Amino acid sequence: MLEIKGLYAKVEGREILKGIDLSVKSGEVHAIMGPNGSGKSTLAQVLAGREAYEVSGSALFNGTDLLSLSPEDRAVAGVFLAFQYPVEIPGVGNLYFLRTAFNAIRKQRGEEEMDAIDFLALAKERMKSVEMDVSFMSRSVNEGFSGGEKKRNEVFQMAILEPTLAILDETDSGLDIDALKIVANGVNALRGKERAMIVITHYQRLLDYIVPDRVHVLAHGKIVRSGGKALAFELEKTGYAEFEKKVA
């Protein structure tokens, strides 16, 4: 589904991604682990289309040149990024925001848009998977949300928008065990043959709950090692120092 070859990314003159190769098949969950500064978030943002970066290389998404698409068009193509630090948008209601996004994507795909009443019903149903309360609907996007609530909101949005490629950028950061379990449940409920996920994290702990098919270690902008889920346990024991040495 996703074929990345020789992906380089630079920002403000600094090269962050130094030739990433990655292949993700439909139905798979890939974990990307690495120390701070390795380029994990950059990879997520570059795949989502953040324009601050100078990018070269290729990323084919179901045969389409992903890097040539605008962020909106990537969303229409089925890409979703669960942000590490979701921003607040004061004055814009959560439900209104989601419905606008939902219908914008549908419109671009030539599909029928959903009215407010039907959308509310859909939202109420999907909210259950992340144990969110109806009351949050009327609140502004992420405004006054705790860290856990923000992350749950990201997964809730994913549940509504039903992407084919979901990139989760440190979805576990700032979460306690209980919140982590809720978020993981929400993510697992969305796993499927038609969907692929890239789960970015520091810690092995998340991967106890969201079990990956493949694990990759990112250090200094390159993938230095790939393996099965056991690789995550290995990392837990040895830390990242070994892998950083290899690239340096």
Partner 1 sequence: MSGVQTEIRALADREYKYGFVTDLDMDTAPRGLSEDVVRLISAKKNEPGWLLAWRLKAYRHWLTMSEPQWQNVKFPPIDYQDIIYYAAPKPKKSLKSIDEVDPAMRAMFDKLGISLAEQGRLSGVAVDAVVDSVSVATTFKDKLAKVGVIFCSFSEAVKSHPALVQKYLGSVVPYTDNRYATLNSAVFSDGSFCFIPKGVRCPMELSTYFRINAADTGQFERTLIIAEEGATVSYLEGCTAPMRDKNQLHAAVVELVALEGASIKYSTVQNWYPGDAEGRGGIFNFVTKRGKCAGANSKISWTQVETGSAITWKYPSVILQGDHSIGEFYSVALTANRQQADTGTKMIHIGKNTRSTILSKGISAGHGQNTYRGLVKIGKSATGARNHTQCDSLLLGSQCGAHTFPYMEVKNKTAQVEHEASTSKIDEEQLFYCRQRGIKAEDAVSMIVNGFCREVFKELPMEFAVEAQKLLSVSLEGCVG
- Residue 106 or 202: the one with the smaller Cβ distance to partner 1 is 106
Residue 39 · residue 217 · CB < 8 Å: no
| Shortest reach from residue 244's CB to partner 1, in Å | 29
| Shortest reach from residue 90's CB to partner 1, in Å | 6
Distance (Å, rounded) from C-alpha 44 to C-alpha 80? 10
| Shortest reach from residue 51's CB to partner 1, in Å | 4
| Shortest reach from residue 48's CB to partner 1, in Å | 5
In angstroms and rounded to an integer, the radius of gyration of the C-alpha atoms of the chain is 18
Q: Classify residue 139 by its DSSP letter.
A: S
Q: Classify residue 69 by its DSSP letter.
A: S
From the number of C-beta atoms within 10 Å of its C-beta (0-12, 13-18, 19+), residue 15 rates as middle
- Residue 151 or 222: the one with the smaller Cβ distance to partner 1 is 151
- Residue 73 or 213: the one with the smaller Cβ distance to partner 1 is 73
Partners of 58 in the β-ladder: 5
Cβ–Cβ contacts within 10 Å for residue 187, how many?
25
Token duo for residue 166: 């979901």
- Residue 75 or 232: the one with the smaller Cβ distance to partner 1 is 75
H-helix or E-strand spanning residue 227: strand 222-227
- Residue 92 or 122: the one with the smaller Cβ distance to partner 1 is 92
Say how many CA atoms lie within 13 Å of 99 toward its Cβ.
19
The contact set with partner 1 (CB under 8 A) reads 48-52, 70-72, 74-76, 80-81, 83, 86-92, 97-98, 100-102, 104-105, 108, 140, 157, 161
